[in-house]
């Protein structure tokens, strides 16, 4: 009360004035009976504050200020004073605050289960952080592992590096919508409680739905296509995706965010691929322009190289068979229609980088047998399909395809699928039937948002790109 609350960024405008502001304690120390220092944080700014008997502060108050616990939230009233020597430890270098009043709003308990300065440091190499507290160099402070950080996520997320990751993630969503809205895509919301598994049965979470069986959505696949059959020409969705995959890898979550799109095309499904490529080139360009600081902060902590894009602006579009050939020439053993293992995908990523100087590329014409039942077979080779994946730094970020828009063919492909899908099952029947009353040729794709962020930044683990990640071992916090 009395003095107005200020933002610390205006410190210079308040020289010699009394100000009040809310802040967090970075650390505090008692220098002597008459002098204590408290480093304070507000947003991205840090400032040094002093409690000094020479300012008329009581010795008791000096002691109290010097012992206030790290991470407590305070309301401080003090005088803004110019300093003679710039202060190294604070972002505000030319001014310090002479404390007159210090009110502890919430006192942080001692000890903290995780130091925010530890959360600022890179994760140990192990990535998954199973061996927490891993020692790097004999005399270095041990690095705190991912599990400890995720268990104390509220403290962990206070680290600047984490703010940067989620500012970028928010940016990717905004850019996705910005680009596609401008192209006439309509933002849709589709149900997440479904009567059928949309991507096949194995990896689906079951939910008890009153006296019936229901499932958590594995993708908006059925619904985005049904909207094309409803004469929406172009649709997009940003929404949660649930996968009951018991995959304890660095790039699988059981709940992630899908960036989906679906569109009618005129003559060839490559029209859809062009939209997807232009979309990603726009996102990369704008991330470099608008989120340069955040990107550099994270990449430099992990010694990650810049993300390479072809100078020509043309995204390498490589037929799957050509990818197999490149891998075979590099010594991999692969059948013509085999799926690629994760190491083979990464190997191909390195080969593409060498040949095309690009960390971003598309594989086209996947073998039909390894794609979902709704995928359009290739008109030129029944073993292949009009489907594609996109990769960043050798790892998959998108799957997509031309879809079957003929109900009879769709039902037949479902029955032939391994494992077979009943085209008359609840939820599935309505999906198949929606193609009986007219539907244009269409295609689309789905990105994993956390993977885009992970591979843009070159991070070792996808969990770092989810605020409160879900995996087979983790449903809390």
Which residue numbers are catalytic? 243, 245, 251-252, 396, 399, 451
Q: Is 348 in the site for ligand AMO (CB under 6 A)?
A: no
Residue 444 contact partner, candidates ligand ATP, ligand AMO, none, CB within 5 to 8 A by sort of partner: ligand AMO
Cβ-proximal residue to ligand AMO, closest one = 448
Shortest separation between residue 265's beta carbon and ligand AMO, angstroms: 14
Q: Is 181 in the site for ligand ATP (CB under 6 A)?
A: no
Q: Is 385 in the site for ligand AMO (CB under 6 A)?
A: no
Shortest separation between residue 397's beta carbon and ligand ATP, angstroms: 9
Q: Is 444 in the site for ligand AMO (CB under 6 A)?
A: yes
Shortest separation between residue 75's beta carbon and ligand AMO, angstroms: 42
Residue 400 contact partner, candidates ligand AMO, ligand ATP, none, CB within 5 to 8 A by sort of partner: ligand AMO
Per CB under 6 A, the list member of 71, 96, 199, 294 interacting with ligand AMO is 199
Q: Is 473 in the site for ligand ATP (CB under 6 A)?
A: no
Residue appearing with tokens 């086209």: 364
Shortest separation between residue 333's beta carbon and ligand AMO, angstroms: 25
Provide the 8-state DSSP code for 189. Answer: -
Residue 221 contact partner, candidates ligand AMO, ligand ATP, none, CB within 5 to 8 A by sort of partner: ligand AMO
Per CB under 6 A, the list member of 243, 393, 405, 463 interacting with ligand AMO is 243
Q: Is 364 in the site for ligand ATP (CB under 6 A)?
A: no
Shortest separation between residue 376's beta carbon and ligand ATP, angstroms: 17
Q: Taking a C-beta distance cutoff of 8 angstroms, is the pair 361, 390 a contact?
A: yes
Q: Which is nearer to ligand AMO, 39 or 219 (CB)?
A: 219
Per CB under 6 A, the list member of 58, 135, 342, 424 interacting with ligand ATP is 342
Q: Taking a C-beta distance cutoff of 8 angstroms, is the pair 283, 179 a contact?
A: yes
Per CB under 6 A, the list member of 248, 300, 381, 424 interacting with ligand ATP is 248
Q: Which is nearer to ligand ATP, 154 or 342 (CB)?
A: 342
Q: Which is nearer to ligand ATP, 135 or 248 (CB)?
A: 248
Q: Is 198 in the site for ligand ATP (CB under 6 A)?
A: no
* Interacting positions 251-270 with ligand AMO (CB under 6 A): 252-253, 256, 260
At 380 the three-state DSSP class reads coil
Q: Which is nearer to ligand ATP, 10 or 341 (CB)?
A: 341
Q: Is 260 in the site for ligand ATP (CB under 6 A)?
A: no
Report angle CA 372, 377, 382 to the nearest 5 degrees.
120
Per CB under 6 A, the list member of 249, 300, 357, 381 interacting with ligand ATP is 249
Q: Is 394 in the site for ligand AMO (CB under 6 A)?
A: no
Q: Which residue stretch of 137-145, 241-249, 425-433, 460-468 sits at the interface with ligand ATP (rule: CB under 6 A)? A: 241-249
Three-state secondary structure along the chain?
Answer: CCCCECCHHHHHHHCCCEEEEEEEEEEEEEEECCEEEEEEEECCEEEEEEEEHHHCCCHHHHHHHHCCCCCCEEEEEEEEEECCCCCCCCCCCCEEEEEEEEEEEECCCCCCCCCHHHHHCCCCCCCCCCCCCECCCCCCCCECCHHHHHHCHHHHCCCHHHHHHHHHHHHHHHHHHHHHHHCCCEECCCCCEECCCCCCCCCCCEEEECCEEEEECCCCHHHHHHHHCCCCCEEEEEEEEECCCCCCCCCCCCEEEEEEEEEECCCCCHHHHHHHHHHHHHHHHHHHHHCHHHHHHHHHHCCCCCCCCCCCCCCCEEEHHHHHHHHHHCCCCCCCCCCCCHHHHHHHHHHHHHHHCCCEEEEECCEHHHCCCCECECCCCCCEECEEEEEECCEEEEEEEEECCCHHHHHHHHHHCCCCCCCCCCCHHHHHHCCCCCCCCEEEEEEEHHHHHHHHHCCCCHHHHCCCCCECCECCC
Rounded alpha-carbon distances, angstroms, from residue 78 to 48, 56, 202: 12, 12, 62
Which secondary structure element, helix H or strand E, spans residue 38, and what is its range?
Answer: strand 35-42
Shortest separation between residue 174's beta carbon and ligand AMO, angstroms: 19
Residue 359 contact partner, candidates ligand ATP, ligand AMO, none, CB within 5 to 8 A by sort of partner: none
Q: Which is nearer to ligand AMO, 153 or 251 (CB)?
A: 251
Residue 427: both structure tokens together: 């939820």
Q: Is 273 in the site for ligand AMO (CB under 6 A)?
A: no
Q: Is 222 in the site for ligand AMO (CB under 6 A)?
A: no
By the criterion CB under 6 A, which residues form the site for ligand ATP?
247-249, 252, 341-342, 396, 399
By the criterion CB under 6 A, which residues form the site for ligand AMO?
199, 219, 221, 243, 245, 252-253, 256, 260, 396-401, 444-448, 450-451
């Amino acid at each position: 009360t009395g003095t107005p609350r200020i933002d610390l960024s205006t410190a210079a405008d308040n020289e010699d004035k009394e100000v009040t502001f809310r802040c967090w304690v970075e650390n505090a120390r008692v220098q002597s009976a008459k002098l204590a220092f408290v480093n304070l944080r507000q947003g991205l700014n840090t400032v040094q504050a002093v409690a000094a008997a020479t300012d008329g502060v009581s010795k008791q108050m000096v002691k109290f200020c010097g012992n206030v616990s790290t991470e407590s939230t305070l309301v401080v009233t003090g005088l803004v004073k110019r300093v003679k020597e710039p202060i190294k430890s604070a972002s505000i270098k030319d001014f310090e605050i002479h404390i007159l009043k210090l009110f502890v709003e919430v006192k942080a308990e001692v000890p903290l289960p995780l130091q925010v300065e530890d959360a600022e440091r890179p994760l140990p190499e192990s990535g998954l952080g199973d061996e927490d507290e891993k020692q790097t160099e004999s005399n270095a402070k041990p690095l705190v592992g991912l599990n400890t950080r995720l268990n104390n996520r509220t403290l962990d997320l206070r680290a600047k590096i984490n703010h940067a990751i989620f500012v970028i993630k928010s940016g990717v969503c905004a850019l996705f919508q910005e680009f596609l809205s401008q192209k006439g895509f309509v933002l849709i919301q589709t149900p997440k409680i479904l009567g059928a598994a949309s991507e096949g049965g194995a990896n689906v979470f079951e939910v008890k739905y009153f006296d019936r069986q229901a499932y958590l959505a594995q993708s908006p696949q059925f619904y985005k296509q049904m909207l094309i059959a409803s004469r929406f020409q172009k649709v997009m969705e940003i929404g949660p995706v649930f996968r009951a995959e018991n995959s304890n890898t660095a790039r699988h979550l059981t709940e992630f965010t899908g960036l989906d799109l679906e569109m009618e095309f005129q003559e060839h499904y490559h029209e859809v691929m062009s939209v997807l490529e232009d979309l990603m080139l726009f996102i990369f360009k704008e991330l470099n322009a608008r989120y340069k600081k955040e990107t550099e902060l994270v990449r430099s902590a992990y010694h990650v190289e810049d993300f390479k894009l072809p100078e020509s602006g043309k995204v390498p579009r490589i037929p799957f068979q050509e990818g197999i050939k490149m891998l075979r020439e590099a010594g991999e053993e692969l059948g013509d229609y085999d799926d690629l293992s994760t190491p083979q995908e990464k190997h191909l990523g390195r080969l593409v980088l060498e040949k095309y100087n690009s960390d971003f590329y598309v594989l086209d014409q996947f073998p039909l047998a390894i794609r979902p039942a709704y995928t359009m077979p290739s008109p030129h080779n029944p073993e292949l399909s009009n489907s594609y994946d996109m990769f960043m730094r050798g790892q998959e970020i998108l799957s997509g395809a031309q879809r079957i828009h003929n109900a009879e063919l769709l039902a037949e492909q479902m029955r032939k699928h391994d494992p077979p899908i009943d085209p008359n099952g609840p939820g599935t029947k309505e999906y198949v039937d929606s193609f009986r009353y007219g539907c244009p040729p269409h295609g689309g794709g789905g990105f994993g948002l956390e993977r885009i962020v992970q591979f843009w930044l070159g991070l070792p683990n996808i969990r770092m790109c989810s605020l409160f990640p879900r995996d087979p071992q983790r449903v809390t916090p």
